[in-house]
Amino acid sequence: MLGINKKSYERIGDNLMKSPHSLDIHAGWPVGLLTAVSLLFIGSFAHGETPTQASSVAELIAMFDSSSCRECHEQIYEQWEKSHHARPLMGMDDWIFMASYLKRGPLAIRTGEKATKVNFPCFKCHLPQIKHATDEVAAEIADAILKDDKPTVRKLNISCLVCHNEKAVVHGRPERNVVYGNKDIPDHQGYPVKKSPLLKNSLMCGQCHGLGPNLEFETPVQCATLYGSHLHAYIPSGGAQTCQGCHMKNADHYMPPDFNRRDELSARLRESLPMEVQTLAYTFQPVEDKLFPMVVVKTKITSKAGHRIPDG
Ligand code: HEC
Ligand code: HEC
Ligand code: HEC
Ligand code: HEC
Ligand code: HEC
């Protein structure tokens, strides 16, 4: 769950510890009632409920802020920074695509009302950490989107901690203050690294790269379906590579293709979708004085991908 960002955790912990106390002094609440209130809070921790929800965008950003990872994982950080995962709310050419959905159509904010998480089924994959935030945060994000506040929207991303904590475990909840990796490193600075069974598995990516329509929402949506194609077409026809095997060789976190780098994209597609063309020209002469030039063009496109292209 939540973040591993120690500071925000401690701050929230601090508040829980301090507020009844200060109330005690200032408002003079009866001690019995205070104890009951504290027990309620502690109870919800003990039952493994989400202990705290970010109540502002700044708090949500802090919970999943991964800028501290840069210091030691510089290369990976720079690869990630260039990837689509670093800007999941931006479409081509830095355009905030959710703006139009919030203005028109079934996800639009109703006149006179504020946005809530119901307006953002898209965040299941584009910003999964939203589940650790309140509806007020959704309203604040909607404001930032509608104001085209790019500096704020850019900070809402699929950060290191989204993949290495939130999405690294599927059986049970990820532990707080843990970074999941391929092996255990108890003395990893900041947060201990624990081995995740999932990190090398295509399912890790499949959690967001889509099986088909998402029918669990009030307004069902469909976006990415590529994982479905990987499971149902590529694997049954003998495919033997994982997403990571093709897209993350040597743990490269750039994870192309990048649709904003058109030349690089065309070069990649020429390589990954090779086209063979055979042609034969001849003349057709149905009667003695009529000549028709004819051509046979035979093309064959072979896909080297582990799924359909394009997706969507
Ligand atoms: C002070 C330096 C430092 C910082 C800060 C740091 N790391 Fe590391 N990290 C390391 C070192 C050193 C290793 C061990 C490399 C090894 O033994 O293979 C490591 C290993 C890892 C691994 C496991 C690699 C594997 O083999 O599976 C992951 C995942 C990881 N770090 C993620 C992070 C994330 C995410 C952050 C930010 C929250 C972070 N690290 C911050 C130094 C750091
Ligand atoms: C099941 C997870 C999932 C859901 C739900 C989802 N998306 Fe996506 N979306 C993705 C993934 C993964 C990609 C990138 C890979 C791809 O397109 O195959 C993507 C790509 C996109 C892109 C292209 C981005 C670019 O840089 O060009 C847009 C725009 C988009 N989604 C909008 C939406 C909107 C709007 C919604 C909600 C109505 C939504 N998505 C819901 C997973 C999802
Ligand atoms: C989209 C999900 C995703 C994001 C975002 C992500 N990682 Fe990873 N990371 C992975 C996966 C999957 C692997 C395992 C790849 C493998 O072993 O084939 C991995 C591997 C690693 C490793 C081990 C590298 C090695 O040599 O084996 C480190 C260290 C790491 N990540 C750090 C980071 C840091 C730091 C960030 C943020 C800058 C980050 N990751 C962001 C998915 C992600
Ligand atoms: C938390 C959800 C999430 C996870 C986990 C995730 N992705 Fe993505 N991925 C996305 C979204 C959302 C986008 C599109 C962002 C955008 O441009 O708007 C994307 C974009 C991409 C792209 C760029 C092409 C494109 O269509 O935008 C590639 C390649 C990619 N992901 C591969 C992977 C691989 C490989 C893994 C597993 C190691 C993985 N992803 C894990 C959500 C995720
Ligand atoms: C056999 C290798 C292979 C495997 C396995 C594979 N991919 Fe791909 N993928 C490719 C190639 C090749 C392309 C074409 C673009 C390129 O070369 O960058 C591509 C394109 C994509 C795109 C862009 C789709 C688009 O609409 O253009 C995304 C997103 C993506 N892969 C994610 C994944 C995920 C997630 C998985 C695992 C479920 C996966 N890939 C498995 C090779 C592979």
Token pair, residue 156, equals 């809402």
Q: Is the peptide bond before 88 cis (omega within 30 degrees of 0)?
A: no
Which pLDDT belongs to residue 51?
Answer: 57
pLDDT at 49 over 80: no
Which residues are 180's β-sheet partners?
A: 194
Domain ranges for the chain: 6-209, 210-312
Distance of CA 299 to the CA centre of its chain: 37
Assign 48 a pLDDT band (cuts: 50, 70, 90). very low
Identify each DSSP E strand in 85-231 by its residue range.
Answer: 179-181, 193-195
Q: What is the pLDDT of residues 76-105, one digit of tens each?
A: 999 999 999 999 999 998 999 999 999 999
What's the gap in Å between 245 CA and the centre of ligand 5?
A: 10
Asked if residues 90 and 171 have their Cβ atoms less than 8 Å apart, the reply is: no
How far is the C-alpha of 237 from the C-alpha of 312, rounded, in Å? 21
Angle at 23 between CA 20 and CA 29, to 5 degrees: 95
pLDDT digits (tens, 9 = 90+) for 33-46: 333 433 333 333 33
- Mean pLDDT of the region 184-199: 95
- Kindly give the distance from the C-alpha atom of residue 307 to the centroid of ligand 5, in angstroms, as a whole number: 7
pLDDT mean over 266-277: 95
Please state the atom number of ligand 4 nearest to the C-alpha of residue 202: 37
Q: How confident is the model at residue 193 (pLDDT cuts 50, 70, 90)?
A: very high
SS3 133: strand
